[in-house]
C-alpha cells in the first residue's frame, strides 16, 4: 500500500530548513522500514485561506511504500512538529511515475520564461506606460464584470448617482438607500 503525504511548512522557515526537516522525516520513515517512492518540493505557494495568520507556505509531497503503522508514525511526527501548519496523508492504490500536476506546472513555467528579445522590448517601455496599460486593462475588466452582473434597474440608479455631483460619504450612503427604496417600491408595484 502506498501513502501520499502533503504537508505545508511555515513560510518563516527558509527553504533550506524545510529541506532539512524533510530529510529528517525521510530518515525516520526509512528507519521504520518503509521506503520513499516519490519526493517533491513544490515551493512557496499562496494558501487558499489564512492559517496561523500566514498566507503562504512551503509545500512538500512524500509518497511512501510501507505498512499502515508507518503512515500513523508520519502523521504523529508532523502533528508534533510546530513548523508544520497542515498535512494530509491519503492511501493510494496505483503509483504514477509522472511528476505531480503542480510540479509539472512549475517546470513548464520555468521553461516558458520570455526570451531576451521580449525582455528587452518590455524594458524599453517606461514605467508610466506600463502603469497606464495595466490601469486601462483593469478598468475595462471591471466595466465588463459590472455590466454582466448588474440588472437594468441597478444601472439606472447608478447612472443617476453618477450624474449627481460628488457628495460627502454620508450623503452618498443616503443616495444608495434611496435608490434601494425606489427599487423596492418598483418591485412591489410590478408584483
Which domain CATH number covers 43?
A: 3.30.70.60
The C-alpha cell 465588463 sits at: 144
Q: Name the pLDDT band for 7 (thresholds 50, 70, 90).
A: very high
Let me know whether 101 and 118 are in one domain: no
pTM: 0.56
Of 85, 111, 137, the domain-final residue: 111
Phi, psi of 90 (to 5 degrees): -130, 150
Whether residue 43 sits in one domain with residue 6: yes
For the segment 159-164, the average pLDDT, to the nearest whole number, is: 52
Same domain, 7 and 65: yes
Pair (48, 98) in one structural domain: yes
How many other CB atoms sit within 10 Å of the CB of residue 32? 15
Question: Tens of pLDDT along 169-180?
Answer: 555 556 667 777
What is the extent of the structural domain holding 130? 114-149
Quick one: 13 and 89 in the same domain?
A: yes
3-state secondary structure labels for all residues of 104-163? HHHHHHHHCCCCHHHHHHHHHCCHHHHHHHHHHHHHHHHHHHHHHHCCHHHHHHHHHHHH
Taking residues 16-45, report their average pLDDT. Answer: 93
Residues 102 and 11 in one domain: yes
Question: What are the tens digits of pLDDT across the range 79-112?
Answer: 999 999 999 999 998 887 787 777 777 777 778 7
Lookup: cell for 160: 443617476
**Is the pLDDT score of 152 beyond 50?**
no
104 and 125 share a domain?
no
Amino acid at each position: 500500500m502506498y501513502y501520499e503525504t502533503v504537508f505545508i511548512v511555515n513560510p518563516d522557515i527558509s527553504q533550506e530548513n524545510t529541506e532539512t526537516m524533510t530529510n529528517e522525516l525521510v530518515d525516520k520513515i526509512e528507519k521504520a522500514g518503509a521506503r520513499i517512492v516519490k519526493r517533491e518540493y513544490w515551493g512557496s505557494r499562496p494558501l487558499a485561506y489564512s492559517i496561523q495568520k500566514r498566507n503562504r507556505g512551503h509545500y512538500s509531497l512524500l509518497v511512501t511504500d510501507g505498512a499502515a503503522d508507518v503512515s500513523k508514525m508520519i502523521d504523529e511526527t508532523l502533528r508534533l512538529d510546530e513548523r508544520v501548519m497542515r498535512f494530509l496523508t491519503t492511501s493510494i492504490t496505483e503509483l504514477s511515475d509522472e511528476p505531480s500536476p503542480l510540479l509539472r506546472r512549475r517546470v513548464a513555467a520555468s521553461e516558458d520564461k520570455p526570451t531576451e528579445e521580449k525582455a528587452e522590448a518590455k524594458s524599453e517601455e517606461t514605467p508610466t506606460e506600463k502603469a497606464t496599460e495595466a490601469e486601462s486593462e483593469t478598468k475595462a475588466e471591471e466595466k465588463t464584470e459590472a455590466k454582466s452582473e448588474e440588472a437594468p434597474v441597478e444601472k439606472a440608479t447608478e447612472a443617476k448617482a453618477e450624474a449627481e455631483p460628488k457628495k460627502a460619504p454620508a450623503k452618498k450612503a443616503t443616495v444608495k438607500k434611496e435608490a434601494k427604496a425606489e427599487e423596492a417600491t418598483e418591485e412591489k408595484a410590478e408584483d
